[in-house]
A and B are shown apart, each in its own frame.
Chain A
Amino acid sequence: QKEVEQNSGPLSVPEGAIASLNCTYSDRGSQSFFWYRQYSGKSPELIMSIYSNGDKEDGRFTAQLNKASQYVSLLIRDSQPSDSATYLCAVNIGRTGRRALTFGSGTRLQVQP
Chain B
Amino acid sequence: SAVISQKPSRDICQRGTSLTIQCQVDSQVTMMFWYRQQPGQSLTLIATANQGSEATYESGFVIDKFPISRPNLTFSTLTVSNMSPEDSSIYLCSVDEGAGTEAFFGQGTRLTVV
- Once A43-B92, A43-B107, A99-B31 are accepted as A-B contacts, the answer to whether A104 and B42 lie under 8 Å apart by CB is yes
A100 touches B45 (CB 8 A): yes
Partner of B107, one of A34, A42, A90, A106: A42
B contact face: mostly helix, strand, loop, or mixed: strand
Q: How far is the CB of A27 from chain B (nearest CB, A)?
A: 15
Q: Which residues of B contact A (CB under 8 A)?
A: 1, 31, 33, 41-45, 48, 90, 92, 94, 96, 99-100, 102-108, 110
Between A and B, 22 residue pairs with Cβ closer than 8 Å are A32-B100, A34-B103, A43-B92, A43-B106, A43-B108, A44-B43, A44-B105, A45-B105, A46-B1, A46-B102, A46-B103, A92-B100, A99-B31, A99-B48, A99-B96, A99-B99, A101-B45, A101-B94, A103-B42, A103-B44, A104-B42, A105-B42
